Amino acid sequence: MRFSTLCLLLGVGTVFTVAKPSDPTSSSAAPAATGSGGAPVPTVVGAAGITAATSKFGAAIEGAGVDVKGNIYAVNYDGLKNSIGIALGQGAQSSYYQDPDSTTWFNGIRVIESDQTEHNDVVAMLAVDVTNHRVLRISGPPGNAAAVTYCQDAAMLQPNDIAVTDLGDVFLSGMNYSASTGDLWICPNGGAHTPRRIAQLNRTNGIEVDPTNKYLYLSESTNGDGGVVLNNVIWRYELTNSASGSGLDVKNGTDNMPVRTLFKDFSEFDNTGSTDIDGMRTDKNGNLYVTRNGLGEVVVFTPQGELKQRITVPFKGVASLEFGGAQGTDLAIIGSCGVDEKGCLHVHRVDCAGRAFSGLQADKKSGSH
d(CA 47, CA 66): 19
Pairing of strands 134-140, 146-152: antiparallel
Q: Output b/e per residue, 69-105; b: 16+ Cβ within 10 A.
A: bbbbbbbbbebbbbbbbbbbbeeebebbbbbeeeebb
Contact (CB, 8 A) for 127 and 103: no
d(CA 36, CA 133): 43
d(CA 167, CA 110): 14
Alpha carbons within 13 angstroms on the beta-carbon side of residue 45 total 7
Q: State the CATH architecture for 9-366.
A: 6 Propeller (2.120)
Asked if residue 246 has pLDDT above 80, the reply is yes
Smallest CA-to-CA distance from 131 within 111, 93, 98, 101 is with 101
3-state secondary structure of 332: strand
The DSSP 8-state label assigned to residue 101 in this structure reads: -
Smallest CA-to-CA distance from 16 within 268, 311, 337, 295 is with 311
Contact (CB, 8 A) for 281 and 313: no
d(CA 305, CA 35): 11
Contact (CB, 8 A) for 203 and 175: yes
- 84-128 pLDDT, tens digit per residue, is 999 999 999 999 999 999 999 999 999 998 775 654 567 899 999
- 29-69 pLDDT, tens digit per residue, is 444 455 544 555 556 666 778 999 999 999 999 999 999 99
pLDDT tier, 233 (very low <50, low <70, confident <90, very high otherwise): very high
Q: How many CB atoms lie within 10 A of CB 242?
A: 18
pLDDT of residue 23: 32
Bridge partners, residue 282, by sequence: 288
Helix, strand, coil shares, percent, the chain, to 5: 5, 50, 45
pLDDT tier, 28 (very low <50, low <70, confident <90, very high otherwise): very low
Contact (CB, 8 A) for 85 and 143: no
Mean residue pLDDT of the chain comes to 87
Q: What pTM value is reported for the model?
A: 0.89
Phi, psi of 266 (to 5 degrees): -75, -20
Alpha carbons within 13 angstroms on the beta-carbon side of residue 226 total 1
pLDDT of residue 117: 60
Least confident among 24-33, 95-104, 252-261, 276-285: 24-33
pLDDT tier, 219 (very low <50, low <70, confident <90, very high otherwise): very high
The DSSP 8-state label assigned to residue 314 in this structure reads: S
Smallest CA-to-CA distance from 250 within 262, 237, 263 is with 237
